[in-house]
Structure 1
Amino acid sequence: MELLSYMRLFVEVARTKSFRGAAEALDMPNSTVSRHISELEKAIGLQLLHRSTRKVELTAAGEVYFKRCQSIVEEARIAHESLLDVVERPSGTLRISMPVDLATGHLAPLLSDFAKAYPLISFEFDVTPRRVDLQSDPFDLAIRIGPLPTTPSTLVARQIALLPRYLYASPDYLKAAAQLTHPDDLTKHVLCIGQALTNQEEAWRTFYRGEEEVNVMIASRFRMNSVGLSRALAVSGVGIAVLDTDLAHEDVASGRLRRILPEWSLAPVPVHAITDTRLLPARTRLFIDFIKARLN
């Protein structure tokens, strides 16, 4: 049991590259972490860490040991937490990174329902579009909209939803704008594109109507990494926004937005739950399954 505890400390130091960071994460004195790591190195007979006043780095032996210890410590944690499944009372803190538009537009009511269903779970939400490092940042999972990240290959992605996308504009904008009866007409309109920023002011967009496809080169005057902001701009009459039905629902119901070219749609955008391991504690697995079922 002592060896497993030392391995857990080592994994946390290797993940954070800091004795202080590991001590804070594990809620124990910095000196205790340092002493136990030294005892582990003495027992193994190899130096696992290069220590300096500025940073901590893994030695070659430490790299090998870290890869093996990660899975051992994770499996031990899962085995312990799986006992909670037996009594159906998962607990602990669930740490999730998610974009603000998804959090406020889709997940807020679902989070409330999940919290009621599992009262022993507490939550920490990091609402940001940034690509968090799940191997070093203290998150159980990240929920992201759009294409999967290409690196690192060790990440595990589970698709939990497909969000349909349509075009919306305000009545005031439509009164003053050029005629709009076909996707080709969009070249004469102002678009507010709320997706990941790129250096391209113009991009091809594919629109679908049944089996029919139309590719249109669209210039977007307003580009941003926030679907919520593009929705707000559309409501104010600035231009046309690409939104999914849930996000646009209230504005359509109140008359602030209208769905335009209703027979046409863009390709749905995938939503993924991303973790750094397939071995998930009960609270993380239950949350992913719950969100996937409700979003679908």
Structure 2
Amino acid sequence: MNKLQAMEVFVEVVDTGGFTRAADNLQLPKATVSTLIASLETALSVKLLHRTTRHVSVTADGAAYYERCLRILSDVRDAEESLSRTRLSPSGRLRVDVPTGLAHDVIIPAMPDFFTRYPDIQVEMGCSDRSVDLVEEGVDCAVRGGVLVDSSLIARRVGMLDFICCAAPDYLRRYGIPAHPRELLQHRCVNYFSSRSGKILEWDFTRDGERLQVALPGLIAVNDTNAYIAAGVAGLGIIQTAGFVVDAMLADGRLTTILDDWSIDPLPVHVVYPQNRHLSAKVRVFVEWIAELFASHPGMRLPKAPPPAARAAPSPLESAV
């Protein structure tokens, strides 16, 4: 039995949900597909698939093996790619992870351009505000906001996010407009808590050499960008977020900016990938494409000079990325 071929067949059966379609896609006789799966199960001494006359589903062992097969086959393709001319036309499955806000507002809307350039790449994009373990979860690269703390990752800075404070007009009519960050202590704020530590994150402000970092009262705390913005629009309190995320809501009046004469530390954005993993052509072109995309986005561009201070940890705004 050719083990790599058997893995490819198994992955195709799982992806398509059946032997017939997998055989068609791989241009193999259905009997060959069945034989390879049976041989694989015999060699592994586990049942990988549940079979009925109408349906094929993966077992618990099969699901775990499927994930391993994806990684192995991807590594094999990457190794071949690095030694062949296919580097000029990258292909294959690319697993990336991006923060919710960036996915929704910046990356997803631009993906048609990426697929026009690289039609042979299939992207699996995880969208969340949690920090995934790239190696453990088999992710090729990730976009992350904030100062990086994982020294095992190679990082390329691709953007900087500027932040604003804003609230729903109805909230401001009911509770007033704060003129100084200290007045936020008498207001309701929507808080954001870290998915890693569960800690509610503080807000920072700078003006004319005065710098404040405050923990603020609030009725609600969330750890998801969409929920965070929705809470602000619903009038649950003041929010501090990346400006580009709420541009449309500021334009149509759902939100109003406050404390405009105060600065908020910008948030660096990086693309990261494991240092012990070969930078395949598909990862390389995705990283370059992200860098190009952010360079042309008014809310993401890198400054010409480094900012005076970099945020030491993500903020409600880890949300906004």
Same fold (TM over 0.5): yes
Paired position in structure 2 for 1:146: 146
**Given residue 123 of structure 2, which amino acid in structure 1 is its aligned partner?**
F
Work out which of the residue numbers 75, 80, 83 in structure 2 matches 1:80: 83
The answer to whether 1:223 aligns with 2:221 is yes
**Given residue 109 of structure 2, which amino acid in structure 1 is its aligned partner?**
P
The answer to whether 1:169 aligns with 2:132 is no
Task: Give, in angstroms, the shift of residue 154 of structure 1.
Answer: 3.0
Paired position in structure 2 for 1:122: 122
Q: Could you say what secondary structure the match of 1:267 adopts? A: coil
Paired position in structure 2 for 1:289: 288
Is the contact made by 1:195 and 1:227 (CA closer than 8 Å) also made in structure 2? Answer: no
Q: Could you say what secondary structure the match of 1:231 adopts? A: helix
Task: Give, in angstroms, the shift of residue 244 of structure 1.
Answer: 0.8
Task: Give, in angstroms, the shift of residue 283 of structure 1.
Answer: 1.6
Q: Judge which range, 137-146 or 100-109, deviates more.
A: 137-146
Q: Deviations over 1:118-143 (max 9, x none)?
A: 22222112223344332243321122
Work out which of the residue numbers 265, 268, 271 in structure 2 matches 1:267: 265
Compared CA separation, residues 199 and 294, structure 1 to 2 (3 A): closer
**Equivalence map 1:7-156=2 (5 Å):** 24=10, 29=37, 31=39, 76-80=79-83, 83-85=85-87, 88-150=88-150, 153-156=151-154
TM-score between both structures, scaled by the size of structure 1: 0.69
Q: Deviations over 1:43-83 (max 9, x none)?
A: xxxxxxxxxx9xx9xxxxxxxxxxxx9xx9698345235x2
Q: Deviations over 1:273-293 (max 9, x none)?
A: 221236311121111111122
For 2:105 and 2:170, how far apart are their aligned partners in 1? 24
Task: Give, in angstroms, the shift of residue 175 of structure 1.
Answer: 0.9
Task: Give, in angstroms, the shift of residue 92 of structure 1.
Answer: 1.7
Ranges in structure 1 where 5+ consecutive residues have no aligned partner: 10-19, 37-52, 57-68
Paired position in structure 2 for 1:256: 254
Q: Could you say what secondary structure the match of 2:190 adopts? A: strand
For 2:76 and 2:198, how far apart are their aligned partners in 1? 43
For 2:80 and 2:268, how far apart are their aligned partners in 1? 31
Work out which of the residue numbers 245, 248, 267 in structure 2 matches 1:247: 245
Work out which of the residue numbers 156, 159, 163 in structure 2 matches 1:158: 156
Task: Give, in angstroms, the shift of residue 253 of structure 1.
Answer: 0.7
For 1:218 and 1:195, how far apart are their aligned partners in 2? 12
Is the contact made by 1:160 and 1:291 (CA closer than 8 Å) also made in structure 2? Answer: yes
**Given residue 293 of structure 2, which amino acid in structure 1 is its aligned partner?**
R
Is the contact made by 2:180 and 2:259 (CA closer than 8 Å) also made in structure 1? Answer: yes
Q: Could you say what secondary structure the match of 1:159 adopts? A: strand
Q: Deviations over 1:138-171 (max 9, x none)?
A: 3211223334343xx4332332222111101111
Q: Could you say what secondary structure the match of 1:266 adopts? A: coil
Across the aligned residues of Structure 1 and Structure 2, the Cα RMSD in angstroms comes to 3.5
For 1:90 and 1:126, how far apart are their aligned partners in 2? 21
For 1:119 and 1:159, how far apart are their aligned partners in 2? 26
Q: Could you say what secondary structure the match of 1:232 adopts? A: helix
Task: Give, in angstroms, the shift of residue 252 of structure 1.
Answer: 0.5
Task: Give, in angstroms, the shift of residue 256 of structure 1.
Answer: 0.6
When the two structures are aligned, how many residues end up with a matched partner? Answer: 243
TM-score between both structures, scaled by the size of structure 2: 0.64
Q: Could you say what secondary structure the match of 2:261 adopts? A: coil
For 1:29 and 1:137, how far apart are their aligned partners in 2? 25
Task: Give, in angstroms, the shift of residue 263 of structure 1.
Answer: 1.9
Is the contact made by 1:106 and 1:246 (CA closer than 8 Å) also made in structure 2? Answer: no
The structure with the greater share of residues assigned to strand is 1
For 1:162 and 1:269, how far apart are their aligned partners in 2? 5
Is the contact made by 2:218 and 2:237 (CA closer than 8 Å) also made in structure 1? Answer: no
Compared CA separation, residues 30 and 224, structure 1 to 2 (3 A): farther
Q: Deviations over 1:102-132 (max 9, x none)?
A: 2112211222221222222221122233443
Is the contact made by 1:157 and 1:274 (CA closer than 8 Å) also made in structure 2? Answer: yes
Q: Could you say what secondary structure the match of 1:187 adopts? A: helix
